[in-house]
Structure 1
């Protein structure tokens, strides 16, 4: 039987969301589970444009089996006008067969996001990612206020999930609080997956 893993599925254009995904994966691994980092291809307004099956750099593209077989899911996207990015939404919109089969019911899930500005829609983006996962029957895990970094952060971090303020030039490094909350979120979902298994 294959080892259980937590799928850390994200889309990142400037690299901030990918950096968060890597920290979240470290948190998953501190709980003793494998973290499987996957991304989704960009989409184009030109129908004839397609991406190669394997990206030229970074993590592999997610496929339906990566999602179907995971023990838990942590979903990440940069904010696009208070919503998840179109490439991630496009991928999720094509998971109807998993919904029909109930493949994700009862599995833990969490969300993370990055924004260029402090009030760039972090919480609404996290909520937008929750909606399809609730339809899939997943168990949503946020960040409880028992995490001191949630009280102290001056940048990203919400009870809805991990977040990061990357700056308008995408040059702001993650604060210590943002890093702690990313790692905590990964560990939390991994621990929940083990309890629910």
Structure 2
């Protein structure tokens, strides 16, 4: 990690310890006043951090929503915040990813990740928030950016990222008949967020 990244992380950690957003903003403006780019990045990080806490605060179950309530599910056509779900494009152990269309303030396609029904325990929520926060702090051309975050009306958190079109890494490997060596090379390139992963073809 570079000294610049370390400094940015240290300033961010110091800022979030302050009680109110005005105190946080005053602190980073004082520390980063001569570096507009760093100041802008830190303001963006603090904004994302505040959104994340708002998501956790929204987890208090609303009146009338309990174990006897009808199941709530998403699918194509469902609107969540400013986003209309178009199709499911991925699924993991705790969340589902949809291609969605942002309707305002600008129209664009994005990827929206939302916790699965029944998985919204505090432990899973904390892991989900940690993932969102880690992604929000990353700034690399080969890593999709977090664009937004929020919670549904029933308190299930989601976050929105750049939509990256393509196939899964396993599908790519299978279609191209990659050897174990090539698969490992591709895996390492992805882990390193390489701009153009180099595949070392076996002889």
Pairwise same-fold verdict (TM > 0.5): no
* Greater Rg over alpha carbons, structure: 2
Q: TM-score with structure 1 length normalisation? A: 0.28
With a CA cutoff of 8 Å and minimum separation of 6, indicate the structure with the bigger relative contact order.
1
Q: TM-score with structure 2 length normalisation? A: 0.28
